[in-house]
Amino acid sequence: GAGVSQTPSNKVTEKGKYVELRCDPISGHTALYWYRQSLGQGPEFLIYFQGTGAADDSGLPNDRFFAVRPEGSVSTLKIQRTERGDSAVYLCASSLLASGSSTDTQYFGPGTRLTVL
């Protein structure tokens, strides 16, 4: 079946602009995660959704970042007043179970490469 998909694959914007990044999780996966991967670094956790609600947004760097998942499937990460330091690859992952069990594997999408000029 289809994996996690993310659109757009690349986004170039200017400092101060607003951007939206979209994630389509694997069908039936209730848990959805956003991570940010800066150049030369591992992914860093941003936010976790269980269903429609953000169960943990402790990784969001500041209030310019916001994410929604209104119907419990597709999620959108929104960044206001973008800054050059926001340039990174934004990864989305989904998992079937949110129980933290041994089989709660997170499957990653290809990411959206955001460049802020």
Partner 1 sequence: QKEVEQDPGPLSVPEGAIVSLNCTYSNSAFQYFMWYRQYSRKGPELLMYTYSSGNKEDGRFTAQVDKSSKYISLFIRDSQPSDSATYLCAMSAKYSGYSTLTFGKGTMLLVSP
Where does this chain bind partner 1 (CB under 8 A)?
Answer: 4, 31, 33, 35, 40-45, 48, 50, 55-56, 59, 91, 93, 98-100, 102, 104-111, 113
State in angstroms the smallest separation of the CB of 101 from partner 1.
Answer: 9
Asked whether the beta carbons of 23 and 31 are under 8 A apart, the reply is no
Q: Residue 78, Cβ neighbours under 10 Å: how many?
A: 13
Give 72-114 as a DSSP string.
Answer: SS-EEEEE-S--GGG-EEEEEEEES--S--TT---EE---EEE
25, 32 in Cβ contact below 8 A?
yes
Instruction: Write down the least CB distance from residue 96 to partner 1, Å.
Output: 12
> Which of 12/16 has CB closer to partner 1?
12
CB of 72 to partner 1, least distance (A): 15
- Nearer Cβ to partner 1 (14/104): 104
